[in-house]
Amino acid sequence: MTHGNEKTDKKSASPIWGGRFSGGPSQLMQDINASISYDKTFYRQDIAGSIAHATMLASQNIISVSDKDAIISGLTQIEDEISTGTFTFSAELEDIHMNIETRLVELIGAPAKRLHTARSRNDQVATDLRLWLRDSLVNLDAMLMALQSALLDKAETYADTLMPGFTHLQTAQPITFGFHLMAYVEMFGRDRSRLADCARRMNESPLGAAALAGTGYPIDRHQTAGLLGFDRPMANAMDAVSSRDFAIEFMAAASICATHLSRLAEEIVIWSTDRFGFISLSDAFTTGSSIMPQKRNPDAAELVRAKPGRIIGDLVSLLTVIKGLPLAYGKDMQEDKEPVFDAEASLSVAIAAMTGMIEDMTAHAEPMRRALEKGHPNATDLADYLVSALNIPFRDAHHVTGQLVALADEKGCALEQLELPEMQKIEPALGTDVLDILRLENAVAARTSFGGTAPSEVRNRIADARKHYLDSQ
């Protein structure tokens, strides 16, 4: 956009704050100052806050009941106009607050001009953002619960399906696919807890704090807080208008959640490669190639994997805006909304996509089992057997097991394929029972400690998780 001679443009004073000014802002100033392009997102919350404010003003005899009724009727009509797309937004009016108030004046006249009594756009926008984010947190929690439900269903289906467990992306120990998925159930449970903590801490009302110092009108901030579903009004007016830590806390929690989603997305990408073949996704969550007709790309997972880049960036963006601001309000804080909106939208679509992929995913037991034939995943079970059955100190057992692993590597076979006599050349005390220990199914079934990979224990934890995360809601 070209702004050539804007500095010399003569414009009329702003309809919002023009009493102090003889001329209006340049087009460039208007462009950088206006926020209506994005803060119209919370028009419902702005209208709800205004209705609560008008109700309180009337109950405190600050405005008449007839003015209050006219205001609420007009605001209800405006909400309908915006929701149906017939409302005309104006950048000259800067923000959602003044767009709504100006239209209210057009509809009901003088009573509309009484609405802004005992409040400022400073406390108004802080209230709107808290209300909007509170509603969004409810939706995000429901989405995460649906994701947990999908994971629990898959974990139950594949509670007995053996696969390698990895450390350093190297074969470590045999586990089940259901056990692996249950790890994410717990991770997303903690994400829900963080979002719930955020919702609890932010559920205080800034409304009535006015510009920064409160007001001399006999308002009742407890009433407006109650009408809007807040637990209480914020205790310090300056803090109420200048704090954005609730938004920062949300984006921090969103960043952690997005990171968890990204880790699962990465595993889906790896598992679905032809090198692994552990899972497959249908056409619903894959795409093809414009040049290679054989390709099936896990693009949904790859896009989820990328989302933390945006969400963490949103967090850093707002932290950077807030970090050096003196109290109370600065126009810099107008930059709070776009990062919050973007983080919420990015997290929502990532959760929805992941839920869809988990529901769509098919696990393939044979490739998982074949992968267990490499890397000697039962070596730890052999060492544990030497300790528990033969009373060999663990460090010695570790050494003996390493020798047996080296023998298997030399012969090009798995540990369980070694003959007992050749194993006894390394450790004479070994008996025939070691062959049962080395069976992969037995190695998995033996890990019955709380939270272990034994199918029986996995099913116990699935039942607990359903009660804790789903049935208790």
Write out the catalytic residue numbers. Answer: 168, 289
| CA separation for the pair 279, 361 (Å, rounded) | 7
Nearest-5° angle of CA 384, CA 463, CA 349? Answer: 105
Nearest-5° angle of CA 35, CA 39, CA 42? Answer: 165
| CA separation for the pair 158, 179 (Å, rounded) | 8
Backbone phi, psi, residue 234, to 5°? -65, 140
Nearest-5° angle of CA 20, CA 25, CA 28? Answer: 155
Helix (H, G, I), strand (E, B) or coil at 343: helix
Structure tokens at 58: 């009337």
CB atoms within 10 A of CB 80: 11
Looking only at the bridges linking them, the beta strands covering 162-167 and 170-176 are: antiparallel
CB atoms within 10 A of CB 466: 17
| CA separation for the pair 337, 302 (Å, rounded) | 27
| CA separation for the pair 224, 60 (Å, rounded) | 11
Backbone phi, psi, residue 85, to 5°? 85, 15
Closest C-alpha to 100, from 110, 112, 114, 111: 112
The amino acid occupying position 466 is R
CB atoms within 10 A of CB 30: 16
Query: Do 445 and 434 form a contact (C-beta atoms < 8 A)?
Result: no
Any idea of the CA torsion for 82, 83, 84, 89, to the nearest 10 degrees? 20
| CA separation for the pair 453, 467 (Å, rounded) | 20
